[in-house]
Amino acid sequence: MLGKAQTLETLKRQVAALETQPLLTDTQSLAAAAGLLATPRGCVHEVFADSLANAGAALGFALAQAKRVLAPERPGLIILQLKSDAQEIGLPYGLGLKNFGLDSEAIVLIRTDTIVELLWAIEEAIACRAVAAVVADIAYPHKALDFTASRRLALRSAASGGSVFLVRYGRDREAGAAKYRWRVEPSLSASPPFDDRAPGPPRWRITLEKGSLDRRRRTSAGGEEYLVDWTENGLVLADTSSRDRAVVLPAYPALSDADPTALGDRLSEAG
Amino acid sequence: MLTLPRWATDCLKRADPALAALTRPFVLWEKQKGAMRLVAVDAAASALGLSAGQSLSDARAMVPDLEAREIDRLYLEQVFADFADWHSNASPIVSVLTHDEAYGDLCLDITGVSHLFGGEAAMLEQLTNRLRDLGYTVNGAIASTIGAAWAVAHLLPGRVVAPGDESQVLHAMPVSVLRLEPAQIDGLNQLGLKRIGQLHERDRKSLQARFGVSFLLRLDQALGWIEEKLDPRLPIAEWYAEHRFAEPIGLIDDVLMCTHDLAVQLAARLEREGVGAQGFHLFLYRVDHKVMTLSVNASRATRDAHHIGRLFAYRAERLGAEYDAGFGVDMIRLAAGSISPLMATQTGAFGLDDGAQGLDLLYDRMTSRLGPLAVVRSKPVNSYIPERAAKLEPVVAATPDDPIAQMPLEVPRPMRLLPHPEPITVIAEVPDAPPASMTWRRVNYRFVKASGPERLGDEWHHAGNKLQLTEGSVEAAKADETEALYFEEGRTTRDYYVVEDDGGRRFWLFRLGLFGIATKPRWFLQGFFS
């Protein structure tokens, strides 16, 4: 009897470990092959922008990643911001989020007075199994947000399987327990069809400074570089050869979590 | 009915130990029509012949070592209101009678309560004794009408009037105990009608003609011919659980532990009736006659004791240093409000958990810790003006959707919106062309791409609402404030542009006022695209 219980316990632990470490599983590699930049879930990401003027790109990248981990059984997406930062970098705007492909009325915005309350709220939110992603938008460096705090968040998110995105600004990098650190820079967008002078869909130059997704992209500067375009289906590696035109998407089916191509791969064709 | 004739002086003496140690007579005065008159005297002062209404200089002449202070009515009223709330540990319906003075008279509806104290007489004795122990001068009486109880408490304290005996007891009492206006009492005395018994044989019509309908109302209320309603200070909770302690407790952890136990009891009762509650109120009755109230709200009706307990734990965390148990808490009551039917649900193997419930519980916890205004959702509003087109709404106080508030068109809207648009300087090639560069926060941005304009006319029905600006730019805006006295088409029309600078950053700018109509069009930055 005891042996059975023990076996069950070990199996459970193994499954949990698999769930928190889904890095480059089938879906992952397939998504990469299809040109979609997909990041693993269940860990802490730091998203850095060089200055407050790049705030839109940083939040856009974090939300585009967060959108990928939403699932019917995990519908929660929470954005956190300090009250005092609202005028500095702007409040997330409901109608804009809707244009971005998110259900703005399902997103909950948490505005706290202090950074300590903000960190508490991240921890509390990520501990909930219905929350898929927490995006914390922090305009300035804070003492309370140190290695210990990020380690706590990393443990929490590993335990629950939700993702944490810490959106931060500046060129200074402190020690942190985040598994991935991204640097997001806006890049000149490709023109939309029929209008050369109008801005097209967002295009970002992304450097993965910490962690690794695709070793082939490692540059001499010590990070993996990606140039991505935002599309409704997720982030697509930009085709630099046709930089002057917006990418015309090949007829991919909408890639969501249950990856149809991945499913197709496993089905026996003999039928 | 409890009356505290010396509340003003007693209350100050309890609050200030130096005053309590004083052996000299103590009075309170107030400026009335230019004269300083006494309004409250303590026992020592009234023994020396001082009374309310005397002028302060007379009193000082009679009693040279008088301690006199100016009265602070607001403070006294507030403390008395707390004091009255505290009495809800004896009976749920407590009301302060304010016809005479805003403090001093306390009325408790003890219907169906007295047996808990061992009868009416025993209850009256307990209530008055515990106040006397605290140093208050207090008189009490029990009667079946408010008027009779008031009269007896003031003239024959300590009596319990049996139902039906009011007329007999009031017969020999002066008319002044009927809670009348001073003018009415003077008029009655002039006519020689000094006792209530004398009123019986009088013609009611002529009494009403002379003294007004309020006089007859008071008389009938005292005799029980017309029902008088109390208006309770605290909302009457139908669902509550309470716990009394033999020894007062002080630590917040003990309080929360007890709250959890009460929540379990309350949840069992709610479950039996098949209902759930959204609002929960915790009343902590302190030994020193104060009540602390903590309230939490849930976003959906619940009866989960564990959840309620946690909400209070988080609410208490937000309290921090504000929590003050004084000399201890001797009773805790947990009341539930906003009751609605809540059917039992089966959590089974085949149920599909969509996570919505877990999220609601999470938002409740966050709200109780951070406050309702910190946990919000964006909701569309029926307006085209961007800063008005979405509002932030507390998650726990959701309102129904506005069906016409949805944006009908696919228009570009930024991901981030500045709550207050920031003024910028813009250079454009020709007046109506898209901007070529801007200076924002002292940094110059050169634009390579632009689209627009999207023209948004001002809403004439909101023309009074001016553009909200940040502190620094208010002065600049004041210069042309004078022109906006009336609504004129085109003056506050906005032209929005989406622009992209040479680094790929995308901004949302607008020009306020059309060229040719507004005297000086101004440019603002309102948002950032991703």
Query: What per-residue confidence (pLDDT) applies to A113?
Result: 93
Which residue of chain A comes nearest to B377, CA vs CA? A108
Would an 8 Å CB–CB cutoff place B499 in contact with chain A?
yes
Give dist(CA B406, CA B402) in Å, integer.
Answer: 8
Tokens of A211: 């962690």
Domains parsed from chain A with CATH numbers: 39-185+211-226 (3.40.50.300)
Please report which confidence band the pLDDT of residue A185 belongs to, taking 50, 70 and 90 as the band edges: very high
CA angle A205, A207, A209 (to 5 degrees): 165
Contacts of A238 in chain B (CB under 8 A): none
**Cross-chain residue pair B359–A76, CB shorter than 8 Å:** yes
The residue type at B315: R
Q: Name the residue with higher pLDDT: A220 or B262.
A: B262
User: What's the pTM value of the predicted model, to 2 decimals?
Assistant: 0.74
Please report which confidence band the pLDDT of residue A189 belongs to, taking 50, 70 and 90 as the band edges: confident
Would an 8 Å CB–CB cutoff place B365 in contact with chain A?
yes
Give dist(CA B492, CA B462) in Å, integer.
Answer: 11
Please report which confidence band the pLDDT of residue A240 belongs to, taking 50, 70 and 90 as the band edges: low
**Cross-chain residue pair A186–B504, CB shorter than 8 Å:** yes
Tokens of B356: 């919505």
Looking at residues A175-179, what average pLDDT do you find?
Answer: 87
Contacts of A74 in chain B (CB under 8 A): 355
From the list A179, A181, A153, the residue with the least C-alpha distance to A80 is A153
Query: What per-residue confidence (pLDDT) applies to A79?
Result: 95
- Residue B197 predicted with pLDDT over 60: yes
- Residue A249 predicted with pLDDT over 70: no
Q: Name the residue with higher pLDDT: B230 or B496.
A: B496
Helix (H, G, I), strand (E, B) or coil at B112: coil
Q: Which residues contact B273 (CB under 8 A, 6 or more apart)?
A: none
Looking at residues B151-162, what average pLDDT do you find?
Answer: 85
Contacts of B439 in chain A (CB under 8 A): none
Please report which confidence band the pLDDT of residue A260 belongs to, taking 50, 70 and 90 as the band edges: very low
Q: Name the residue with higher pLDDT: B118 or B357.
A: B118
- Residue A168 predicted with pLDDT over 90: yes
Query: What per-residue confidence (pLDDT) applies to A167?
Result: 95
- Residue B283 predicted with pLDDT over 70: yes
Looking at residues B60-67, what average pLDDT do you find?
Answer: 86
Tokens of B486: 């009336």
Find out whether B136 and B120 touch, Cβ atoms under 8 Å.
no
Distance from CA of B237 to the nearest CA of A (A): 32
Query: What per-residue confidence (pLDDT) applies to A270?
Result: 46
Query: What per-residue confidence (pLDDT) applies to B352?
Result: 52
Query: What per-residue confidence (pLDDT) applies to A1?
Result: 57
Contacts of A187 in chain B (CB under 8 A): 504
Distance from CA of B504 to the nearest CA of A (A): 4
Tokens of B487: 């609504």
Give dist(CA A162, CA A158) in Å, integer.
Answer: 7
From the list B418, B377, B431, the residue with the least C-alpha distance to B524 is B418
- Residue A20 predicted with pLDDT over 80: no
Query: What per-residue confidence (pLDDT) applies to A37?
Result: 66
- Residue B409 predicted with pLDDT over 80: no
Please report which confidence band the pLDDT of residue A264 belongs to, taking 50, 70 and 90 as the band edges: very low
Query: What per-residue confidence (pLDDT) applies to A91?
Result: 92
Give dist(CA A186, CA A184) in Å, integer.
Answer: 7
**Cross-chain residue pair B416–A93, CB shorter than 8 Å:** yes
Q: What's the DSSP call for residue A50?
A: S
- Residue A213 predicted with pLDDT over 80: no
- pLDDT tens for residues B430-489? 878 889 999 999 999 999 999 888 888 877 776 655 565 555 454 545 544 444 555 666
- Residue B218 predicted with pLDDT over 90: no
Looking at residues B264-293, what average pLDDT do you find?
Answer: 89
Tokens of B46: 């009234």
Determine which helix (DSSP H) or strand (DSSP E) holds B241, and give its type and residue range: strand B239-249
Please report which confidence band the pLDDT of residue B319 belongs to, taking 50, 70 and 90 as the band edges: confident
Contacts of B470 in chain A (CB under 8 A): 87
Looking at residues B122-130, what average pLDDT do you find?
Answer: 89
Interface of A with B in 59-88 (CB under 8 A): 59-61, 63-64, 72-76, 83, 86-87
Task: Tell how many helices (H) and how many strands (E) occur in chain A.
Answer: 8, 11
From the list A205, A250, A211, A198, the residue with the least C-alpha distance to A43 is A211
Would an 8 Å CB–CB cutoff place B389 in contact with chain A?
yes
Nearest to B415 among A60, A110, A129 (CB): A60
Query: What per-residue confidence (pLDDT) applies to A29?
Result: 47
- pLDDT tens for residues B76-99? 888 888 888 888 888 888 888 877
Helix (H, G, I), strand (E, B) or coil at A153: helix
Give dist(CA A39, CA A159) in Å, integer.
Answer: 18
Would an 8 Å CB–CB cutoff place B416 in contact with chain A?
yes
**Cross-chain residue pair B530–A188, CB shorter than 8 Å:** no
**Cross-chain residue pair B358–A129, CB shorter than 8 Å:** yes
Looking at residues B496-500, what average pLDDT do you find?
Answer: 93
Q: Name the residue with higher pLDDT: B30 or A251.
A: B30
Mean predicted lDDT score pLDDT of chain B: 84
Give dist(CA B467, CA A137) in Å, integer.
Answer: 26
**Cross-chain residue pair B500–A72, CB shorter than 8 Å:** no
- Residue A219 predicted with pLDDT over 80: no
Looking at residues A3-20, what average pLDDT do you find?
Answer: 74
Please report which confidence band the pLDDT of residue B350 belongs to, taking 50, 70 and 90 as the band edges: low
Domains parsed from chain B with CATH numbers: 1-140 (3.40.1170.60), 239-342+357-364 (3.30.1490.100), 376-405 (no CATH), 416-528 (no CATH)
Q: Name the residue with higher pLDDT: B519 or A146.
A: A146
Give dist(CA B128, CA B139) in Å, integer.
Answer: 7
- Residue A38 predicted with pLDDT over 80: no
Looking at residues A84-101, what average pLDDT do you find?
Answer: 90
Contacts of B380 in chain A (CB under 8 A): 94-95
